């Protein structure tokens, strides 16, 4: 498995960080977790063809997690030198179909009814999603009322992604014993905000869940000078790293 960070920022634009986007490659599959604005451009910078994407999992429908989905669908439909034929499946939280219906009304034929490839828009359910040898489950997170995190199990490896969340029991279950846990870490501890995590909160979650490696993401600009690895490391004894756009991790 290989993880590429396409976007580690938030709704506040900065030159260094695009909005949320994380590409997982395994067994020839390309699985994208969130596609906020700037993520598609980062794929081009990393020489990762967006045409190869098989599955997209959306954690919630805030623009910084989903805004580049429309450009992706338009590019796949109208690329003049490439004709997609394989199926694209986009899976989101409860209410996602209505969200995409509204997007279709707004953007019309630019994104809907691709003739050359099957497009499936689905909502996550209690049943796990299977992608080859991988199994993906969703857990409700403490953010927007329909926000979810995703846990992918592949052979003997586990990757967990929180999306946006505040502290909750479900996020501990999500990342329990994960080989790699990708947790948001939006604000400093002295500026905590409901629905998001601070370094100490992320550290306590990682400690309680006993994950093997903790990657921190989704940073607001004031976090750039916060020593997140040290703060988390005082609580959690495992490996911890602040991610940056275009970082690559082999698992």
pTM attached to this predicted model? 0.96
Q: What CATH number is associated with residue 243?
A: 3.60.15.10
Task: Indicate the number of domains in the chain.
Answer: 1
Contacts of 83 (CB under 8 A, 6+ apart): 116
pLDDT value for 155: 94
pLDDT value for 9: 99
Q: Which domain holds residue 160?
A: 2-250
What is the length of the chain? 251
- The three-point CA angle 160-161-162 to 5° equals 120
- Tell me which residues of the chain have a pLDDT lower than 50: none
pLDDT value for 82: 84
Integer distance in angstroms from the first to the last C-alpha of the chain?
Answer: 5
Instruction: Tell me the C-alpha distance between 135 and 142, whole Å.
Output: 23
pLDDT value for 158: 98
């Amino acid at each position: 498995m290989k993880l590429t960070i396409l976007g580690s920022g938030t709704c506040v634009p900065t030159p260094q960080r695009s909005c949320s986007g994380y590409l997982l490659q395994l067994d020839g599959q390309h699985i994208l977790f969130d596609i906020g604005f700037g993520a598609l451009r980062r794929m081009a910078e990393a020489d990762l063809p967006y045409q190869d994407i098989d599955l997209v999992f959306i954690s919630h429908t805030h623009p910084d997690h989903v805004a580049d989905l429309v450009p992706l669908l338009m590019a796949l439909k109208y690329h003049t030198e490439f004709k997609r034929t394989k199926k694209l499946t986009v899976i989101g939280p409860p209410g996602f179909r209505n969200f995409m219906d509204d997007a279709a009304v707004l953007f019309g034929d630019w994104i809907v009814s691709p003739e050359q490839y099957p497009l499936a828009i689905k909502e996550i359910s209690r049943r796990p999603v299977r992608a080859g040898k991988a199994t993906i489950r969703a857990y409700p997170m403490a953010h927007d009322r329909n926000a979810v995190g995703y846990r992918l199990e592949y052979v003997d490896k586990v990757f967990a992604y929180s999306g946006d969340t505040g502290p909750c029991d479900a996020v501990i279950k999500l990342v329990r014993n994960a080989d790699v846990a990708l947790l948001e870490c939006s604000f400093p501890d002295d500026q905590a905000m409901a629905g998001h995590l601070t370094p100490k909160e992320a550290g306590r979650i990682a400690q309680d869940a006993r994950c093997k490696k903790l990657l921190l993401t989704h940073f607001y600009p004031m976090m750039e000078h916060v020593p997140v690895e040290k703060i988390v490391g005082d609580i959690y004894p495992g490996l911890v790293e602040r991610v940056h756009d275009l970082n690559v991790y082999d698992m």
